[in-house]
Amino acid sequence: MISKLNQYEDVRQLKMRSSAAASECGSNFSDLLHSRINQKEDLQFSRHAAERAKERGIDMSDSFLSDLQSAVEKARTKGAKDVVIISERGAFIVNVPNNTVVTTISGNEMKDNIFTKIDSAVLL
């Protein structure tokens, strides 16, 4: 009888430790998830977009990148998925959920171009 009580107590303590560890792990995961959701991601450029910007001589200053990021955030709040951001420097096609510039077009090349598969536009 005593050995069964000891076994029961051992199992109960294991469950308590396991529960505490799972709770701690869940708490850490929850904290990590919330921090990732609330973390402001920097705007990324696809390889294609980076090459196009370089080829077309589009100046990417820190202030301009900040303006682009701001435009993407405004589009995100309106529910945009794919947006064209038009500025004096050119047009930037951005996939909002991935926070990624997909391609760029310089100001000189915008004439006679058609933007397809875009659900929103932002003017800078």
- pLDDT, tens only, 56-114: 888 889 999 999 999 999 999 999 999 999 998 899 999 999 999 999 998 888 887 88
Distances (CA, A) of 63 to 27, 37, 66, 98, 101: 38, 25, 5, 21, 16
Q: Match 């869940």 to its residue by tokens.
A: 26
The backbone region for 117, taken as left when phi is positive above 0, alpha when psi lies in -120 to 50, beta otherwise, is: left
pLDDT in tens, 20-67: 554 555 567 776 666 655 555 789 999 999 999 999 888 889 999 999
Q: Which phi and psi (to 5°) does residue 119 adopt?
A: -105, -5
How do strand 120-123 and strand 82-87 relate by DSSP bridges? Answer: parallel
